[in-house]
Amino acid sequence: MPRLFLPAMAALVLAAPALAADAAHPTVIELFQSQGCSSCPPANANVMALADRPDLLVLSFGVTYWDQLGWKDRFARPEFTRRQYDYKAGLRHDNVWTPQTVINGRVDVTGVRAAELAQALVKGDRGSGGPAVTASPARISIGAGSGPADVWLVRYDPRIIEVPIRAGENGGRTLPHRNVVRELVRLGGWTGAATDLARPAPATGLQEAVLVQRPNGGAVLAALRLR
C-alpha cells in the first residue's frame, strides 16, 4: 500500500485567516491517518496546531487499512476509510495513502510540510457562493442554491487524547490526537431547493458540525459548526 516517508516538520499555527470562512462557517480540514503509520505524526502535529483557529474545522479520521500491520487503530472505522476512497475518486487519484489532508474537499496535501499546508488552505478556499445553512434544536435548514449535494453530520471529540502505541511502526510512542471523528452520519440529500432535515439528538461529550458536499468525494459547498 502506498505510503509517504517524509521528514518530520514542526507544527505551524497559521496567522492569516482562511478566506471566506468564519467561526460559524469554517474551512474544513480533514486529516486521514492511522496510529500504525510512522509518517502520520508530523502531519498530525501540523494539523492539530490549527485546531484552535475559529475559522477552521479540523477533523481527524482514522482509517482501517493499516490495522493488519501490527497495530489496530482504536479510532479507525470502515466508514472513514470509505470516505477517503471517495476522495480518491473526487480528487482523481490512483490510490489512497496516509497521511492525507483534504481542504474543503477541493485540494489535498500530505500535511507534513507546514508551508505546503498553508498554501493548500488558500488554494482550497470555497468562496462565498455556497448555500446558507442554519440550525435549530430539531432541524437543519439548507437554503436554495446549486445542487446536488449530500448533507453530513459529523461528531468529533475536541479533547487531546494521548494514545500509547505498543506495536507496529509507532510502537513505544505515545501519540496525541485531537478532534477525532467518532460519527459521520448522512442526514439526507440536497437538490438545490431549500430543504429542512431532521437533526438528531446531540451526543454527550462530542461537538458537531454540518457539511454540505457534492456527492462521491466532491467539494464542500458549505459548513456550519453547531456546537
Give Cα 38 to chain centroid, integer Å. Answer: 20
Instruction: Spell out the per-residue pLDDT of the chain, length 227, in tens.
Output: 444 433 333 334 444 444 557 888 899 999 999 999 999 999 999 999 999 999 999 999 999 999 999 999 999 999 999 999 999 999 999 999 999 999 999 999 999 999 999 999 999 999 888 999 999 999 999 999 999 999 999 999 999 999 999 999 999 999 999 999 999 999 999 999 999 999 999 999 999 999 999 999 999 999 999 97
At residue 79, the pLDDT reads 98
In Å, what is the CA distance from 174 to each residue of 56, 121, 161, 162?
Answer: 26, 28, 10, 6
At residue 2, the pLDDT reads 42
At residue 129, the pLDDT reads 83
Edge to edge, the sheet with strand 139-142 lists: 133-135, 139-142, 195-198
Q: 195-198 and 220-225: which strand pairing? A: unpaired
Q: What is the pLDDT of residues 170-180, one digit of tens each?
A: 999 999 999 99
DSSP 4: -
Show me where the domains of the chain are located.
27-225
All three cell numbers of 92, joined, read: 482523481
Render 198-225 in DSSP notation, one character per residue: EPPPPPTT-EEEEEEE-TTT--EEEEEE
At residue 3, the pLDDT reads 43
Q: b vs e for 156-169, b when ≥16 Cβ sit within 10 Å of the residue's Cβ?
A: bbeeeeebebeebb
Q: 56-62 and 27-33: which strand pairing? A: parallel
All three cell numbers of 6, joined, read: 517524509
65-100-40 Cα angle (round to 5):
70
At residue 127, the pLDDT reads 86
In 165-206, where do the E strands start and end? 174-190, 195-198
pTM of the model: 0.91
CB 105 within 8 A of CB 219: yes
Residue 62 to residue 136: CA distance in whole angstroms: 30
At residue 22, the pLDDT reads 80
Q: b vs e for 177-216, b when ≥16 Cβ sit within 10 Å of the residue's Cβ?
A: bbbbbeebeebeebeeeebebebeeeeeebbbbbbbbbee
